[in-house]
Amino acid sequence: MRPAALKVSLTLALAGFLAAGAFYARPVGAARPYEGQTIRAVVNAEYVKYSLSLVEKDLYDKLGVKIETEVIPLDAFVSKTLLEFNSGSSPWDLVMFGPSNMPDYGRHFEPLEPWIEKLKLDFAMDDIVPVFAKVMLRYQGKLVSMPYDGDIHIMYWNKVAFERADNQKKFKAKYHYDLKPPKTWKQWDDAAEFFHGWGWDGSDKKLFGAGASYKPSGSGYSYHWWRSRFFSYGGQYFDKDMKPLINTAAGVRALEEMVKTMPYYPPGVLLFESEEPKTMLVKGEVPLLYSWTSTGKRVGNKDESVIAGKAGFGLVPGAEIDGKIVNRPAITPGRGMAVSKYSKKKEVTLKVLEFISTPDQSLKIVMDPKTIMDPWRVSHLRSPIFRKAFPDADKYLDAIEATFPYLVPDPVVPAADEYQRKLSFEITEALAKRKAPKEALDTAAAEWDKVTERRGRDKQKAAWGEKLAEMKALGIEYHPDWAAKAK
């Protein structure tokens, strides 16, 4: 199956390139057909603005358009943009958003299909990684956005830690199996315990067992770290009647393990957002981390990384169920870009959206080590430039691709973001030992019920029903018995 898939993707990538080429070759009238026009984009952090600046020059050279980017800090972003949208107007043409907000947001976006026809736009749709195409593009069946940042989790390890003969000997003596990059949560926890507190790189430094982000900010970091365990233990967000399943055996086991292994994580982990553990990984202080794919670019960035060329990339661990390993890494939808329904410059904005999304322009954005934007086109993963951008970049990109078949999406129903953050908050309550794991998850489930009631149970049930079917198609179902037998 693998080679065939590879071939298909390769053809797709080629098609993507050709499409991009066609775009350039197409006589668009005079050079810079939109000379003198300025559009406004709104993004949620300075580093996103930085990423847009990477394509500014080409955009002007080809289309004659300039982008003015407004940054609204992440924590006020969605509410401020919703405020503007609800008033039936917005000062922005291009909107960047978190796809978990799509159900609350999508009605303010311009459907793209009519414009594709009208302007003969080409978004090289076939070149978009299918999982992203599934979760990031549509609102009520209509195409409304393009990915900008494809977020999934993969695992990173420091090869020095795993390959030192001394470490291997000691590990074997203690745990009676070979020291290898962990495949299961049990192995992960063993490795974290083993590596914690001593100089596994041969130094006499105090180093740590593993890295993680446990702060409940953003869309809920601790939730993203809990859910990979939860799903591999057979968990599911809701049953078909919207009854939360997060406080079932799978959830409790996942959280109990996290609480138990807290001592093996670096001090401060409870307030780590995405970047802090990455810094610890690239500085050689933690041997293990699973996190967003942008981590790999920092690993390879020799300006800051001491493990460039010495890092391994792979699948996030799973659980051994009946002799088979079940991996359920997270797809946390990242960022999308859409055109505001209230924009007065829709045509040029659509042109800009198309331009930014072209395989080679978007490649510049996802390749830059400072952007935190992750690959979302098949051609990004196959790009010869990217594959040689830093030592082992090819292995890194292959690891991303190998992860795609296992991904579990967020529960993207109305109020998805709120469900996630409420759960993330309770998870940190347990991690901070302010509540027992079961108690924390019960509270979270009660909070989820409150959200469901408020938003209308029937409406939520309908939206969730669709997601449930999608997940079933991916082979993700609730298995109440797994938590007990998972190894």
Residues near other proteins (CB under 8 A) are: 40, 44-47, 49-50, 53, 68-76, 78-80, 82-83, 86-87, 91, 101, 104-105, 206, 215-218, 266-268, 270-271, 273-276, 278-279, 283, 285, 303-304, 370, 372, 414-415, 417-418, 421, 425, 428-435, 443, 450, 454-455
Find, among 107, 115, 102, the residue nearest to 90 by Cα. 107
Query: In terms of DSSP H, where are the helices of 96-196?
Result: 102-105, 113-119, 130-136, 159-163, 165-175, 185-195
Which lies closer to other proteins via its Cβ, residue 11 or residue 86? 86
Return the SS3 of 272. Answer: coil
Smaller CB separation from other proteins, 106 or 318: 106
Nearer to other proteins, 49 or 364 (CB): 49
Beta strand residue intervals within 296-425, DSSP E:
311-314, 318-321, 324-327, 330-331, 335-339, 408-409
Instruction: Choose between 317 and 414: whose C-beta lies nearer to other proteins.
Output: 414
Nearer CB in complex with other proteins: 74/160: 74
Helices and strands in the chain: count of H runs, count of E runs: 22, 14
CB of 103 to other proteins, least distance (A): 8
Nearer to other proteins, 221 or 404 (CB): 221
CB of 279 to other proteins, least distance (A): 5
Amino acid at 220: G
User: Given the complex with other proteins, which of 221 and 231 has the nearer CB atom?
Assistant: 221
Q: How far apart are CA 95 and CA 116, in angstroms?
A: 18
Angle among Cα 14, 470, 242 to the nearest 5 degrees reads 150
Nearest to 151 by CA among 301, 282, 330: 330
Minimum gap (Å) between residue 423 Cβ and other proteins? 13
**Measured from the CB atom, is 138 or 395 closer to other proteins?**
138
- How far lies 226's CA from each of 86, 230, 425, in Å? 34, 6, 12
Shortest distance in whole angstroms from residue 71 CB to other proteins: 5
Shortest gap between Cβ of 419 and other proteins (angstroms)? Answer: 10
Q: Give 130's DSSP letter.
A: H
How far apart CA 179 and CA 229 sit, in angstroms, is 21
Between the alpha carbon of residue 289 and those of residues 32, 116, 373, 444, the distances in Å are: 45, 41, 18, 26
Shortest Cβ distance from residue 198 to other proteins (Å)? 13
Q: Which two tokens stand for residue 79?
A: 């509410």
